[in-house]
Structure 1
Amino acid sequence: MHKSKGLTLIELMVTIAIVAILTTLSVTSLSGFLIETRVDNEISQLHRLLLSARNFAINSGRNVTVCPLNSANACSTQWQEPISVFIDLNNNQLFEPQNNELAIKVKSAIREGDQLIYAKYRNKVVYQPTGQLSGLSNGTFRYCPKGFQEKSRGIIVARSGRLYMTTDIDHDGQDEKRQGGEIVCQ
């Protein structure tokens, strides 16, 4: 009796087909995982930035401003750009180091194409020495990865200054605000 030491052409083709199917499935799952990880990382960084700003306001006894700065060092609504935390001594929404205003922290810009939106047309968050927000009412930061709106997440900034992360309340794969509405990126 003669034993074969190799694979037949059919066995080889079946093996290659199985490997191709498994590779396709794993790459699809991996890209979804990478997007979720990127969103979670950005939300976590923003959460830590806001907590740092609030804590600095409480500990220093001064108002602390969180905002994206434009080229003139003025607060803007371009939240996808680097976000700065600083003490705005004269409350003019400008970071002026020449006036002894202190830069506390800067968060880098988000990935190009993704969106970070804070309420409608709001250009800053200001924490008072009490830890509460100055001026405006509650607002929601929404991080929206390009092409994957269903993976969007958010942080609700309450008037009290406390922060609340959005979660998937109804287990449909999309985060909702505490009131139950899904995160909308528009």
Structure 2
Amino acid sequence: MPTRKALMGFTLIELLVTVVLLTLLAGMASTSWSTLIASSQHRQMVNDLHLVFAVARSYATDKRGLTTICPLSEAQKCVDDWSLPISIFTDKNNDRRPDNGQIHRVFNPVPSRSTIYSRTAGRGYFQLAPDGMSHGTLGSLVACSNMPGAPNRMSYIAMNFGGRLRVLDDKDGDGTIKLPWGPVLTCPKT
């Protein structure tokens, strides 16, 4: 015959402890999940920027023409607003407008809550020579991601003379990157 205590179930204290533990575990899982999603989205944005420059470099060597990478205004002129889609086009006359209005490819690598800032001395564009090397002066991009409940992410993306990108990440999550030659970069407050 079962005893009266075996039929009673959980006490109120046992039930409260269980609910508190489940709440704590769910909170930790939510924070970890947000961090994982933010990190993944930021890494994808940086990878997409690598793809933009790789496609542009390939296009420059294939078409044997000066190729420009930039966001375009409604008037089809390069602007320094990297929240806009990024276009790749032949620019043989070097006017920072697509030749004959033809754009080879358009990318939109910026997810929500992320921004890209150029460090191109206000030019807002990059160019590749027909041999795939950088044409003219160099520049870089700073990619910043800010997702609620997750640490901010930041990457410095620079194009070298060979037309390839190199990336420095903010490894400690303090919102700054110290470049090897001295300058310290931060993401502008949004």
TM class, shorter-length: 0.7 to 0.9
2:126, 2:151 → 1: CA distance? 25
Deviation for aligned residue 1:42: 0.7
Work out whether residues 166 and 177 of structure 1, in 8 Å CA contact, stay in contact via their aligned partners in 2: no
| Rounded Cα–Cα distance in structure 1 between residues aligned with 2:89 and 2:76 | 11
Tell me the TM-score normalised to structure 2 length. Answer: 0.83
Q: Provide the residue aligned with 2:141 in structure 1.
A: 141
The answer for the alignment partner of 1:80 in structure 2 is: 83
CA distance in 1, matches of 2:117, 2:32: 27
Q: Tell me, what secondary structure is at the counterpart of 1:62?
A: coil
Question: Structure 1 pair 40/107, CA: closer, same or farther in 2 (3 Å)?
Answer: same
Alpha-carbon distance, 1:4 to partner: 1.8
Q: Give, in angstroms, the shift of residue 164 of structure 1.
A: 0.8
- Number of residues of Structure 1 aligned to a counterpart in Structure 2: 180
State yes or no: 1:165 paired with 2:155: no
Query: Hey, which of these two has a bigger chunk of strand by percent?
Result: 2
Bigger radius of gyration, 1 or 2? 2
Q: d(CA) in 1 for partners of 2:169 and 2:108?
A: 24
Deviations 1:94-145 (A, max 9, x none): 225xx2x5322111162344210110423111100121111113x2211111
| Offset of residue 14 of structure 1 | 0.4
Query: Partner of 1:54: helix, strand, or coil?
Result: helix
SS in 2 for 1:166: strand
Q: Distance in 1 between matches of 2:111 and 2:162?
A: 30
Correspondence 1:109-128 to 2 at 5 A: 110-119=110-119, 120-128=121-129
Normalised to the residue count of structure 1, the TM-score between the two structures is: 0.85
In the alignment, structure 1 residue 65 sits paired with structure 2 residue 75:
no
Long gaps (5+) in structure 1 = none
User: Unpaired runs of 5+ in structure 2?
Assistant: none
User: 2:77 is paired with a residue of what secondary structure?
Assistant: coil
CA distance in 2 between partners of 1:149 and 1:156 (Å): 23
Residues 59 and 95 of structure 1: is their aligned pair in 2 closer, same or farther, counting only changes over 3 Å? closer
1:183 CA displacement? 4.6
> What is the rounded CA distance, in whole Å, between the counterparts of 2:145 and 2:10 in structure 1?
46
**Which runs of 4 or more aligned residues in structure 1 lie more than 6 Å from their structure 2 counterparts after TM superposition?**
none
